[in-house]
Structure 1
């Protein structure tokens, strides 16, 4: 109490304030304040980990489907077991029927510009649903409602909270689109069509503690948000097709010749690529099929995954090699492609790329959890599903490496870390692009010259008046901006955190903790922010706000260097909206150098800071960000030279 009495006396005596002063010197506290509501709850902890009562629901699927290559259709029956772990009873569930995107009056079609874009697709499709049965106990309900790409299924008796279970079954059929919005479809090849099949069965939507049912329509750019579960699925195809799919093929003896079975076993023990079906055999039904007529059913299983996809064709070359995982575990990299795309300059290296990519991410971030990783030469330019990717068949060389590496990187984001892609594309595309930079830099002793200091090359976009924030939903972002808002800018942000702000050890500890903590769970942006800050031990509100939420820019500068009393003073300025630490290199007249660092807190009170260099040596030049990691929008004042 005595201290406060003296403080009040001093204030009234004018000790702290000059009553004649008219100017107020503003500080920058608003740039460092908390962002949003990030406090703890029983479901999500302020430390960035799931809370003591965190829950998420689950769905297991059994599916039997048939691909008709005469009518180009998929017909199937689905049985889903749904587990309600939430604290609420559920009278209904929502499911996605995303094949309805391929109709003339779908929301996605009607919101696609008439000149078209990447997400243009066929409009003569849609899915037909029949024999719906939804049961908890007692009499099953057939009541359901389809609205665009969503389907509401009602129960006669609600699904109980905290452990209730329901069974939902139905039949479905759809026409396989030729142009499947760059996510699925058909590719004509010399020896037959390659069918890339995805979003092919009704999938349950996520019910979470944040918004309840996540029912955003499937428009195109926004991808997926799905529950985890076990899949047991069978695909019946003409006898002369090869089928690859997410998960493990469990009936190889029924669908492969003895020679193919032996080759598959050889590949499982080989670091070099082994042909299961070689280029001379591809499309030759008398050599590569165990039967010579009718149909074959391929049976796959996959545990604890959010989705499955598959591909089928008469034309496939098929090769594979072993993936070496941490702690002595193994998986199998596989590729399928047509004859016209074979060769060491093209898809002949696909399995090498797949294997190397997955080994890198498993070692650096988190072990790959699946038994197989399959790369499919497709009409799709690049699209990921758990354990399986569709990549453009014409891709070759560095282009094929980059798309393969990117699509398999998605097995970490969002397949392992199950974020909401439909709202927060940056949490999967951006994080994946970030890890891609390091994978490319490491690949084959720099064969493709991966560069982690790419942000400087994107300054033109950062200066654009038409740019948008990372926080912009993917279906809202302008097409010209989506690559930056979802991919490049968030990746640049993580590179800055690792290379410029936190350093490798602190960043890696935090990022690995985020992946491990939220593996097979549903993190929100605030969970990512909280986890990174708590593990790294750094308040990063200023960075999340400026880089990830707002649409701000970085503009550091050097306004001058002056000598004084056997030392020198460097004056730095912050002209941008984002405060940043200042990493700078001093070069002295004798050509010796020093690298120094000022913490971000120098910008808390003002936008100018003097730094004393306690050296009598003459300064020749000063360079901000010598590693070129920050996309400063005005590089002209980042370098000072006495000359």
Structure 2
């Protein structure tokens, strides 16, 4: 009996110690030599990878992503798209039929691994479609480094989703997720997610990449070009250096980013400018009538980075490139691929603002997108809305910048197809539901926190999040810890309802009774998500008085908000259906009574939130 107790006690202690293990993250250094056959849309690749295991675990296998293997008929991506039909990703299907099923044989994506070695010794490996499992001859012990060498060839796929040849605007090559990329390993194990169309994850890595390609091409990339005087497009006095094969060598380096991507086209032009106290910005695009809006972008991009640096944390890298390519907009280390054709500057900047903000929430704060897509896409959408509201102020004054997102959410809820944000990114069944649970609910997660804790506390939380977790891999728990620390509130309940469920907020004014010296209002909670309630009265002399009705769940109440100081009254227990509030104003003194005049609360039924006193 004593022995059993001792074993149980030891187990409990070991579990506690495991939970308290110090933070770590893996590191990688890539050196690649790439030889491109531009006519055939193929290339040969050689790669040396120094991989450092900073975890406390001994690794006996490693995993590499081979994303391009998805771009062929009957791949897992094809099967997933076919299974979802019209409910899936619109870019991957047409009229409910998978576009992957009809890729011709010569345009099917392929990453063919010739061999892989560890410290010079050949390794056994197993390709599982878009994942490669590598069996090690010698384990990688904690706090040690090993070297992998690899040779492969690849076929650049038909451009359907993010990567590939000849996109719809005529860009020859969009080279994203194009090399065998080692998977991330952390406390949750290997992030060996099959690629079926959505999110990516990787360890922070350094890159040294040499690309040999026909001298007629201009290359755009996320990194620093080491030899601008020897290639086309970056230096007006460049003397293009080629070998006997008439190929130029492009030498790129980048440090501490998640992935290295590039794009190539004969018709690219390159422009650059410096953002004060910010990065050097490169614009790489085809110069034609459909892209002339790019010429207007510099002052907007400059202001964009200045706002982002001020409110969300300073951009950490020396440069950033907006590159025309891909199938819409997709973020990568130190750059983004975006469609270049735009009708006006606001439309172009909307795309640039979203993809650029990913530098904060996909790159510098490198959340595992496959597990927490709402933290990347949602927080990025919040930053996009915040900045665009300042770059292009609306013609009509809005209660807050996020009104359109809130209204879109309310309209979507009526469809009855919502899926919880907690689901893994690639495992959502409905493409529209994925968009709303990830982009919209992720954005409104921050909007609701601003309402609960106050906008000043939210701004402080976002800054602290950046300061504590930039260049790391935070989770939702890490963000929540900071939000609770800054606000002094318990916010676990809100996180649970908003992320783990599809329950909704619905408060209303049920009854009003006017007296000779006061007015008594009865409020009702018709929803399933408890929230604090800011109840305001607007008097006939246009005075606004806001009463804060806290929920007891937060344990601490907010001190001030966008309307300044608040009159805090007794809390509303979350188990209680109705709440009565008496204000010292008569009917003749009142003009409007309302729940949340700022209109930030994601109440799904706004009709009963306001009463005009007549």
- Which TM-score band applies after superposition, normalised by the shorter structure? 0.7 to 0.9
Moved more, 401-410 or 556-565: 556-565
Deviations 1:66-116 (A, max 9, x none): 222100113211111110111111111111111111122321121112667
**Residue 524 (structure 1) shift:** 1.9
1:443-522 equivalences under 5 Å are 443=391, 451-454=401-404, 455-477=406-428, 478-498=430-450, 500-522=451-473
Residues 1:131 and 2:115 aligned together: yes
Where in structure 2 are there 5+ consecutive unaligned residues?
A: 1-14, 94-98, 553-571
SS at match of 1:603: coil
Distance in 1 (alpha carbons) for counterparts of 2:496 and 2:362: 23
Which consecutive unaligned segments of at least 5 residues does structure 1 have?
1-39, 45-50, 263-287
Contact 2:216 2:232 in 1 (8 A): no
Taking the TM superposition and a 5 Å limit, the aligned residue runs for 1:184-223 are: 184-187=164-167, 193-210=171-188, 212-221=189-198, 223=199
* Contact persistence 2:290–2:341 (CA under 8 A): no
Over 3 Å counting, the alpha-carbon distance change for 1:77 and 1:343 in structure 2 is closer
CA distance in structure 2 between the partners assigned to 1:94 and 1:339 by the alignment = 41
- Contact conserved, 1:556 with 1:572, CA < 8 A, in 2? yes
- Answering whether residue 210 of structure 2 is matched by residue 241 of structure 1, we say no
Residue of structure 2 in register with 1:436 after alignment: 384
Asked if the contact 2:291/2:342 (under 8 Å) is kept, the reply is no
Structure-1 residue corresponding to 2:228: 252
**SS of equivalent to 2:607:** helix
Counterpart for residue 265 of structure 1: none
SS in 1 for 2:166: strand
> How does the TM-score come out when normalised to structure 2?
0.85
- The CA deviation at 1:126 is 1.7
Indicate the RMSD between aligned Cα atoms, in angstroms: 2.5
1:472-621, aligned counterparts within 5 Å?
472-477=423-428, 478-498=430-450, 500-564=451-515, 566-601=517-552, 602-615=572-585, 618-621=589-592
Verify the 8 A CA contact 1:341 1:393 in the aligned structure 2: no
Residues 354, 373 of structure 1: 8 Å contact kept? no
1:188 to partner: Cα distance: 6.5
Cα contact 1:456–1:630 (8 A) shared by 2:
no
- Counterpart CA distance in 2 for 1:52 and 1:323 is 40
1:446, distance to aligned residue in structure 2 (A): 5.7
Q: d(CA) in 2 for partners of 1:386 and 1:515? A: 17
- Alpha-carbon distance between aligned partners in 2 of 1:418 and 1:198, rounded to the nearest angstrom: 18
Q: Does 1:65 align with 2:17?
A: no
CA contact (8 A) 2:171 2:324 kept: no
**Helix, strand or coil at the partner of 1:217:** coil
Q: Distance in 2 between matches of 1:449 and 1:65?
A: 53
Could you tell me how far 1:633 is from its partner in structure 2? Answer: 1.6
Alpha-carbon distance, 1:539 to partner:
0.8
Q: Distance in 1 between matches of 2:379 and 2:78?
A: 29
Tell me if the contact between 2:71 and 2:157 (Cα under 8 Å) persists in the aligned partners: yes
* Cα displacement string for residues 537-583 of structure 1 (whole angstroms, at most 9, x for unaligned residues): 11112311221211011111111221346222111111111111112
How far apart, CA to CA, are the structure 2 residues paired with 1:307 and 1:429?
18
CA offsets 1:496-552 (integer angstroms, 9 cap, x no match)? 222x22222211111221222121212222222222112221111231122121101
Helix, strand or coil at the partner of 2:503: coil
1:241, CA displacement in angstroms? Answer: 1.1
Q: Distance in 2 between matches of 1:622 and 1:218?
A: 51
Provide the aligned length of Structure 1 versus Structure 2. Answer: 559
Answering whether residue 145 of structure 2 is matched by residue 145 of structure 1, we say: no
Shift of 1:290: 6.1
Computing the radius of gyration from Cα coordinates, the structure with the larger value is: 1
| Aligned-partner Cα distance in 1 for 2:78–2:486 | 44
More RCO (CA 8 Å, sep 6+) = 1
Cα distance in 2, alignment partners of residues 414 and 497 from structure 1: 21
Write the deviation string for residues 379-436 of structure 1: whole angstroms up to 9, x where unpaired: 4211111111111122332221111111111011110111111121101000100111
Counterpart in the other structure of 1:391: 338
SS at the partner of 1:533? helix
Q: Is the CA contact 1:65–1:235 (under 8 Å) kept in the aligned structure 2?
A: yes
